[in-house]
């Protein structure tokens, strides 16, 4: 008995010691984890911080050999000047217009197509869907050359149409929405058919509300696409009346005759980035959900 209890106490002691060391290790690991994550987060955030404080400095302060980490004199006027210099008002309007119109049209087309692929039966459905998915592989540059010829032939050069129509159909969005539609039980559809509900009505009353999260994701991604598009607009609509935000931003400060005014540039960049950030703050969930399945930026 004696020995036995002795062994037990030994065990208990060991256990306690092990538990204690485990606790210490756990705390250390936690500290290390948080330190690492915080450092990485700071690195990730730094460009944003630098953009904002630089945008508020005077050019003289910006040029100091040893930089200040908070502006001595806050220059809100940089934002006003940047807005004027880069003609941001016009650029915002153009981009919003293209973004909204193309998102609406794109949604209609995507819903119709995804519905056909999810609920309707027709010959060659799988083959067609496979072929469409396959086109996702092809780099966009391959389309650009011919699309460019096509839109010029159509007389769309330097119009809003050229910025909207060629990209209305996105296979990825169709894929995303089809998957979502498929998850809605088919019984609902069959029941609706028995009731004599038309397809369109069913789509409108049942499927669209149920697929709302996907539709919101698509909307946001599409808007972000308009916001970030650069190559195609530069090629086909780079005039002042149709210029999109990214093109305008890039060129506004290279065309200028004066010295490179970094605070001004940074103010413009901050202004251009702000809307996306606002959207992100309010619709974080949908964006992250949509993006995690896309892999395609914008």
Partner 1 sequence: MKKLVAALLLAVMVFSFVLTSCGGTTTTTTTETTTAAPSTTEGKGPELDPNKPVDIEDFTMPEGGFDTTKPVTITFYHTMGENLRTVLDSYIVEFNKLYPNITIKHEQVGGYDDVRDQISKEIPAGLQPNIAYCYPDHVALYNIAKAVQTLDTLIGSTVTVTRADGTTETIGFTEAQLNDFIPGYYEEGKQFGDDKMYSLPFSKSTEVLYYNKTFFDKHNLKVPTTWDEMEETMQKIVEIDPMAIPLGYDSESNWFITMCEQLGSDYTSATGEHFLFDNETNRNFVKRFREWYQKGYVTTQEILGSYTSSLFTTTDVIKSYMSIGSSAGATHQRPAKIDGAYPFEVGIAPIPQINPDKPKVISQGPSVTILKDDNPQEVLASWLFIKFLTTSTDFQAEFSMASGYVPVLKSVGEHPIYKAEFLDKANGGEYIAALSAKVCLEQADAYYTSPAFNGSSKARTQVGSLLTACLVNSDGGNVDAFIKKEFEKAIQECKN
Partner 2 sequence: MTGTKLTLKDKIIGFFAEKMPWFKKYVIDTFPKWKAWIYLSPALVLLLIFTAWPIVNTVRIAFLEGYGSLAATGGAKFSFGFQNFIDVVEYHAFITCLKNTVLLCVLTVPISTFLALLIAVCLNSIKFMQRFLQTIFFLPYVTNSIAIGMVFAAMFNVVGNFYQGRPPVIITPGIVNNVIQFFGGEIVNWMNAGSEYWANMFVMVVYIVWNALPFKILVLLGGLQGINKQYYDAAKVDGTSRVRTFGRITVPLLSPMLAYVIITGFIGGFKEYSSIVGIFGEDMGPAGGAGRLNTMVGYIYDAIESEAWGTASAAALILFGIILVVTALNLWVSKKKVHY
**How many residues at the interface with partner 1, by CB under 8 A?**
23
Task: Identify the CA nearest to 192 among candidates 115, 270, 88.
Answer: 115
Q: Is 63 in the site for partner 2 (CB under 8 A)?
A: yes
Query: 9 or 182, CB closer to partner 2?
Result: 182
Give burial (CB, 10 Å; 0-12/13-18/19+) of 259. exposed
Whole-angstrom CA distances from 117 to 3, 31, 267 are 76, 51, 46
Residue 256 contact among partner 1, partner 2, none, beta carbon within 5 to 8 Å by kind: partner 1
Whole-angstrom Cα distance, residue 132 to residue 137? 10
Decide if residue 296 touches partner 1 (CB under 8 A): no
A 10 A CB-CB count for 189 gives 21
Find all residues with CB under 8 Å of 184, minimum gap 6, and list them: 206, 207, 210, 211
Q: How many residues bind partner 2 (CB under 8 A)?
A: 87
Pick what 45 binds: partner 2, partner 1, none; C-beta below 5 to 8 Å, kind-dependent. partner 2
CB of 42 to partner 1, least distance (A): 30
Footprint on residues 151-210 left by partner 1 (CB under 8 A): 152-153, 155, 157-158, 175, 179
243-282 residues in contact with partner 1 (CB under 8 A) are: 256-260
Q: How many whole angstroms separate alpha carbon 273 and alpha carbon 264?
A: 14
Footprint on this chain of partner 1 (rule: CB under 8 A) = 130-131, 133-134, 136-138, 149, 152-153, 155, 157-158, 175, 179, 238-239, 256-260, 293
């Amino acid at each position: 008995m004696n020995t036995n209890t002795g062994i037990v106490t030994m065990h208990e002691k060991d256990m306690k010691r092990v538990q204690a060391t485990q606790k210490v290790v756990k705390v250390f690991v936690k500290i290390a984890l948080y330190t690492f994550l915080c450092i990485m987060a700071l690195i990730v955030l730094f460009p944003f911080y630098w953009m904002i404080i630089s945008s508020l400095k005077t050019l003289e302060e910006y040029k100091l050999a040893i930089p200040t980490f908070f502006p001595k004199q806050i220059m809100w006027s940089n934002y006003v000047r940047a807005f004027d210099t880069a003609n941001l008002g016009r650029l915002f309007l153009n981009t919003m217009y293209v973004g909204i119109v193309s998102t609406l049209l794109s949604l209609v087309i995507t819903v119709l197509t995804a519905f056909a692929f999810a609920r309707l039966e027709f010959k060659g459905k799988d083959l067609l869907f496979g072929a469409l998915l396959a086109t996702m592989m092809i780099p966009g540059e391959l389309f650009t050359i011919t699309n460019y010829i096509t839109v010029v032939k159509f007389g769309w050069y330097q119009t809003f149409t050229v910025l909207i129509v060629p990209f209305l159909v996105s296979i990825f969005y169709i894929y995303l929405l089809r998957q979502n539609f498929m998850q809605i039980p088919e019984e609902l559809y069959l029941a609706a058919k028995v009731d004599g509900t038309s397809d369109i009505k069913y789509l409108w009353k049942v499927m669209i509300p149920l697929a709302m999260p996907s539709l919101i994701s698509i909307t946001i991604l599409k808007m972000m696409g308009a916001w970030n598009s650069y190559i195609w607009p530069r090629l086909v609509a780079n005039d002042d009346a149709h210029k999109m935000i990214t093109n305008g931003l890039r060129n506004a400060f290279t065309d200028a005759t004066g010295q490179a005014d970094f605070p001004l540039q940074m103010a413009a960049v901050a202004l251009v980035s702000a809307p996306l950030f606002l959207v992100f703050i309010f619709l974080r969930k949908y964006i992250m959900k949509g993006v995690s399945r896309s892999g395609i930026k914008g």
